[in-house]
Structure 1
Amino acid sequence: MSNGIHNPDVLSCLANLSSDEVFTPPEIANAMLDLLPQELFSDPSATFLDPCCKSGVFLREIAKRLNKGLEAHIPNREERLEHIFRNQLFGIAITELTSLLARRGVYCSKYPNGPYSVVRFDNADGNIRYKHIQHSWRGGKCVFCGASQAAYGEQARQEGLESHAYEFIHTNNPNNLFSMNFDVIIGNPPYQLDDGGNGASAKPLYHLFVEQAMKLKPKYLSMVIPARWYSGGKGLASFRFSMLNDERISKLIDYTSSEDCFPGVDIAGGICYFLWEREYSGQCNYTNNRNGKRNNLIKSLNEYKIFIRYPAADGIIKKITSLNETCMNTIVSTRKPFGLETNVVPSCSGELTLRYNKGTGKYPADKIIVGRDLINKWKVMISYLSSEHAGQPDKSGMFRVLSTMEILPPTHICTETYLLAGWSDSKEEAENILKYLKTKFTRFLIAQIAVSQHITRNCFSFVPLQDFSKAWTDEELYAKYALTKEEIEFIENMIRPMES
């Protein structure tokens, strides 16, 4: 602030511009750098790589720290900056535009061989490279990233458009990209790319950057990525398994709401960043940020097949799982309970009533091949899509979790827009299942797994089956599982009430 004029950091402004390739606020970049051993910034031999440069904020903030930390080693400021920019900082930009932006943020000039660069290189890239490369197609998909050839092939892209074939992950051996080793790899990778599926189907990309960076065997690796990998995400099962079982992850910082990390950016399931240390082996120092509160816990990440993000939920789930009861994931249907896709619409005539995303209509019974044994049951139907946009809480920080919930009587069926959470020959029992799903207790347990936009049968893995000949209340369930006053308060403050 000078003479009443506010001069904001340009990178803070850019951090609010995109939800596709999210720019990192300087505050988060510095929080990630704070996880590293700070003596690195006093080491003139330490090297740093950002393999997914956008604004250049990581390299810029590292340069600031090195400039201060190397004063004793290289007292002359010009010589010090020359050494830092030439020998310690390296980047790979994700697009041509971000390459110019990153160089401008790091070298003070988008052309580091120009007169305004803080260090004069003999090429227009400096140490922040960008190469326009193409995807490698096989069967209509890129063999490296899974992008759709229909969407990103040369015939589909207008001349001058980015291919989004990111150099760092479009090679089997990332060691060939640089003739050196790196002490630190840090960045904020692109999160997803169209995979050519139905509608807005997209394939995660961020895990490919993490896996590729690990191949380079740095001393330290830190990346900020969507938290959906905890329990969901298309094609992330092996990544989730390796992350949860990797004892080199020493720190994990979690944000339930992405807006607490990236202001103005809505990322389903929240966001996280981590520190991976090559020489570390042990438990993880985990921190969850929710509603302005930080909760910290030292824990093993692989206690369950999925990751429980709330420390307060750990004790609740342990009490429930210790009883070894059968859980609802054993009865909840898979996608397409009657074999009907989302785009199926009613027919002009038919013996059945079809529930689809625009209402109801008739449908012929002879077209149903899957789930015929359920047609004459009383069925509890729930939406395949979660409420509150995939794990993002409402303004009060609470969750509804489940959205559409109905009872389908006999001869009623549904499309894959919905799942069947249970069924019975008895209307009363079906109503009791629905009441159970509406309890805060049940929706809380579902929420521990449902961090993506879809509700699947796996999301019910912690929800114990009950005797549905009777209706259940939250008070009865809290008492049955001996929850403490603090545990009950945690559930009550997280889950919004629903009419029973």
Structure 2
Amino acid sequence: MSMTATSRRHIPDILDCLAQLSNDEVPTPPKFANQMLDLLPDEVWSDPNLKWLDPFVKSGVFLREVATRLLSGLAEWEPDFEKRRDHIFRNMLYGTSITEMTGLLARRSLYYSRDASGETSVVKFASPDGNVPFVPAKHAFKKERCVICGAPEDLERGDSRENHAYSFIHGAYPTEELKDMKFDVIVGNPPFQIDDGGHNASATPIYQHFVEAAIDMDPRYVLMITPSRWFAGGKGLDKYRDRMLNDRHMQNLVDYPKLYDGFPGVKIRGGVSYFLWSRDYDGPCSIQTMWDGKPVGEPVARYLNAYDVLVRRNEAVSILEKVRAKNEPTLNNRVSSAKPFGLRTFFHGAPKPDGMAEPVKLYGSQRVSWVERASIPQNDAWVDNWKVLMTRVQGTSSAVETQFLGKPIVAAPKSASTESYVVAGRFDGFAEAEWYAAYLRTRFARFLVSLRKSTQDAARGVYSFIPDLPMDRQWTDEKLYERYGLNAEEIAFIESQVREMPANGEAVEE
């Protein structure tokens, strides 16, 4: 084969070919890693004194791409390529792998050899690990849970198997010999979650621990990618969200709301985002939305703590501001909490009310059954109201959610529900209940839900931006757009995000 033919042939990057190894081992595509690195200021690539750290190495892509940029950026500082490379690899780049296997991958990516002390390593270290060791760590269990990361005790399976006790957040890394080193730039893709042993393969987010540990080291810059669920929801993320929203060192945030857009083939509900935290910056954060890998509009600088959640789309801010300008109460005060009648999801009554002294129709998971009124644990008075029930879990398996709420159920008196539903409203008569259900079907109301709903969970909190209007008429989208003075562009944006929900018939599941 000729040299010309060889040069024209595409040779793929091996790191583009790595698949997801587990829920916590999602390798970052090289192109995506470079888009993240583009957020850093140009001067970092020509400063030979900086110390770079990836404290949760998977494939080694971040350190490899940083090395490539430094080899070019430091050419004027040190023209001799071998001396320049030796300085960069030996004195500037550090990391620790999350498993022994990812350590081998990372050293192969960075040093061209899994043995950094071997003859094939581009820089020969005294240790096979080079500057990228795997450092074992232990969980700190108390009452069957790790007090640091929340892992269940059964994850501790001895020294021969992975225990998911990551060294960076469990006090094992930086190691003793690095304890006095000041890292200037911390970059990477932390583990996202850890199985917590609950029902339905539940998982606990852990990425927030890595972000906080990195910021607490007070480097010049922190550059990381995480799931975006923290914007509005997520188990155990309330304190983290409050910290991040109020941190004026957040300089840039790039958001990928579409499923699979950031990590092709990896289902991360709510999407992913990466951010640049800058120690010496104090001001609004520049927010950019990406869709199909391309920017949507221009980035907008705004303060993240304008609301108790992060409104992720810049186009939504003006709409929300017009709604909130009227200072109206919201549906958060009307919608019930979880388990409105004290009955769990898996509870079902009898298929028929035969023989019951005071039968109550029970709306449950995928079926309707009947129970004795006396057996309902709480909120007995609600049984006699007209009620609008909304499914507690409303999600989508498609790449883009466009419904956000399930179809409202108008439940007559002598009815109740399990925790599969929330009681979205209670009324004395049918007309009010029907008008309220129609209100929740509007694109306007469901758009406001979308600003707070980052997962399948549609609990009471997702209704907190919807105004609690008087149910003395049927509210339509047209009336609501007029009431809040929305312009044509804002209306078009709402209708591009939320599909119409028909008044009759079953809502189409996504």
Bucket of the pairwise TM-score, normalised by the shorter protein: over 0.9
What is the TM-score normalised by the length of structure 1?
0.94
User: How far apart in 1 are the matches of 2:386 and 2:286?
Assistant: 47
Deviations 1:261-315 (A, max 9, x none): 2122221111111111111111111111236442311111111111111111111
Give the residue type in structure 1 aligned to 2:188: G
Q: Which amino acid letter does the alignment assign opposite residue 359 of structure 1? A: R
Structure 1 counterpart SS, 2:286: strand
Residue in 1 that maps onto 2:424: 421
Structure 1: how far apart are the matches of 2:169 and 2:185?
18
1:334 has 2:342 as partner: no
Which structure 2 residues correspond to residues 158-307 of structure 1 after superposition, within 5 A?
160-171=160-171, 178-290=179-291, 292-295=294-297, 296-307=299-310
Matched length? 491
| 8 A contact 2:251–2:278 mirrored in 1 | yes
Task: Please state whether the residue corresponding to 1:208 is helix, strand or coil.
Answer: helix
Provide the rounded CA distance (Å) in 2 between the counterparts of 1:30 and 1:120.
Answer: 27
Which of residues 349, 352, 359 in structure 1 aligns to 2:367? 359
Compared CA separation, residues 146 and 174, structure 1 to 2 (3 A):
farther
Residue number among 485, 488, 493 corresponding to 1:485 in the alignment: 488
What is the alpha-carbon distance in structure 2 between the residues aligned to residue 36 and residue 383 of structure 1? Answer: 44
Matched, 1:104 2:105: no
Contact 2:391–2:420 (Cα < 8 Å) also in 1: yes
Q: C-alpha distance in 2, partners of 1:404/1:486? A: 27
Structure 1 segments unaligned to the other structure (5+ residues): none
> Matched residues in 2 for 1:35 and 1:175: separation?
29
Partner of 2:97: 93
CA contact (8 A) 2:363 2:418 kept: yes
**Which of the residues 103, 114, 118 maps onto 2:118?**
114
Distance 2:376 2:156 in 1: 38
Instruction: Report deviation, 1:18.
Output: 5.6
Structure-2 separation of matches of 1:100 and 1:336: 49
CA distance in 2, matches of 1:214, 1:422: 43
SS at match of 1:199: helix
| Structure 1 residue 411, shift from structure 2 partner | 2.1
Q: CA deviation at 1:399?
A: 1.0
TM-score by length of 2: 0.92
Unaligned runs of 5+ in 2: 504-510
Match of 2:62 in 1: 58
Task: Give the Å deviation of 1:322.
Answer: 0.8
Match of 1:139 in 2: 143
Q: In 1, are the aligned partners of 2:339 and 2:419 still within 8 Å (CA)?
A: yes
Alignment correspondent of 1:475: 478
- CA offset at residue 17 of structure 1? 6.2
Give CA-to-partner distance per residue, 1:339-387, whole Å, 9 cap, x none.
1112222247652222221312222322212221211222111111122
Q: Does the Cα contact within 8 Å between 1:19 and 1:265 map onto a contact in 2?
A: no
> How far off its partner does 1:20 sit?
4.2
Distance in 2 between the 1:421 and 1:68 partners?
A: 60
Letter in 2 for 1:294: V
Mapped partners of 2:350, 2:460: distance in 1: 29
Q: Distance in 2 between the 1:315 and 1:303 partners? A: 12
The one-letter code sitting in structure 1 at the alignment partner of 2:40 is: L
Identity within the alignment, % = 42
Letter in 1 for 2:216: K
Question: After the TM superposition, which of the residue ranges 118-127 and 443-452 deviates more from structure 2?
Answer: 118-127
3-state SS in 2 of match to 1:169 = coil
The separation in 2 between residues aligned to 1:293 and 1:431, in whole angstroms, is 41
2:92 and 2:172 map into 1 onto residues whose CA distance is: 25
AA matched with 2:162: E
Distance 1:16 1:96, change over 3 A: closer
CA RMSD of aligned residues (A): 2.0
Query: Is the 1:15–1:262 contact (alpha carbons within 8 Å) kept by the matching residues of 2?
Result: no
| Corresponding position of 1:46 | 50
Does the CA contact (< 8 Å) of 2:342 and 2:377 recur in 1? yes
